[in-house]
Structure 1
């Protein structure tokens, strides 16, 4: 081993830790930018919910900062799945359209017991760019 170089296992562990930190920060930012309120995630912690069920709920205004149709809701749920905040529920037939909160999602939400703080305009722009142009 040459002087000044870390062994491969240490480099891989460092890279994995950095990747995990970046993933968590990206998910944390998304939670602040997306229209879902803390109550929405609390419901998902207790049980699964589909985009159709969410769009049809009479209490949607308690769950979202703005009303979403089924298609727009599904887009937001897919983004949260990609970030690792949500996962699809599985039944005997395979994956369903219903989603649940992941352990990482639960962990991130612990930081905001009184509610998810809204993102600043700069954070919203950064999130929008990160979501639509991930390679920039």
Structure 2
């Protein structure tokens, strides 16, 4: 029987893993953000603006709108989830089991997310564009 402290051991298809890795690598965020999301939820205002740069979550100041848009894409890909409290959905985000798996993998390989090629960036943008709700 699984207790709440035991991690889920889920198996993902190669396509799911490739799509998630590509999306995470193309996002404007640093590994520090995802490492923080592994143990705690991180509120949107802590990621946007100069606060995000000071925390090591981003390399440059990003607007809240840009941060939310990119985080919502990572939710759609299956890497993140939005926190919920007694009032409903919050402005905080946390890793899913898929996200924790990829962050653990990249944490072992070094302190940076791998840089995607121009082709991977193009594919990610293409998939993202066609995945937008109409």
How big is the shift at 1:21? Answer: 3.0
5+ unaligned residues in a row in structure 1: which ranges?
Answer: 1-16
How big is the shift at 1:35? Answer: 1.0
When the two chains are superposed, the root-mean-square deviation of aligned CA atoms in Å is 2.2
Distance 2:52 2:91 in 1: 20
Alignment correspondent of 1:34:
27
1:109-128 aligned within 5 A: 109-113=103-107, 114=110, 115-128=112-125
Alignment correspondent of 1:45:
38
How big is the shift at 1:36? Answer: 0.8
Aligned residues: 118
* 8 Å Cα contact 2:81/2:96 also seen in 1: yes
Q: Give the match's secondary structure for 1:100.
A: strand
Distance 1:38 1:77 in 2: 14
* 8 Å Cα contact 2:48/2:62 also seen in 1: yes
How big is the shift at 1:111? Answer: 2.0
Distance 2:115 2:27 in 1: 9
How big is the shift at 1:79? Answer: 0.5
Cα offsets for 1:33-87 (capped at 9, x unmatched): 1111110101111211222221155352521133211000000110011111000
What TM-score results when the alignment is normalised by the length of structure 2?
Answer: 0.78
Alignment correspondent of 1:79:
73
Distance 1:27 1:122 in 2: 15
* 8 Å Cα contact 2:26/2:121 also seen in 1: yes
5+ unaligned residues in a row in structure 2: which ranges?
Answer: 1-10
